Amino acid sequence: MSSAPAAQVPIEDLRRILADTIDEDVHRLADDTDFVDDLGVDSLMALEVLAVLEKEYGVRFAEREMREVRTVRDAHRVVSAKLTGS
């Protein structure tokens, strides 16, 4: 699990984790790059992304939240909210 303070999830760390998980160059992952539409991430890989985020940050995603995470910005927002309890 990450040792980052709860209120501080560095977006660049998150971007690297996501890039590694989907085997993509980190420079192709802008904050608003859509994993599905822009990078062709399929549903199985999307589940893998969420599993990696859950393990890395020690959080659990509800089904609704899973559908919301389509960009780096989305992932950062959801993970940060879970870690801060908001």
Residues in the chain: 86
pLDDT, position 19: 96
- pTM as predicted: 0.83
Average pLDDT, the chain: 88
Residues 33-60 have a mean pLDDT of: 93
Which distant-in-sequence residues (6+ apart) come within 8 Å of 46 by Cβ? Answer: 35, 36, 66, 69
pLDDT(10) > 60: yes
**Mean of the pLDDT values across residues 41-63?**
92
pLDDT at 86: 65
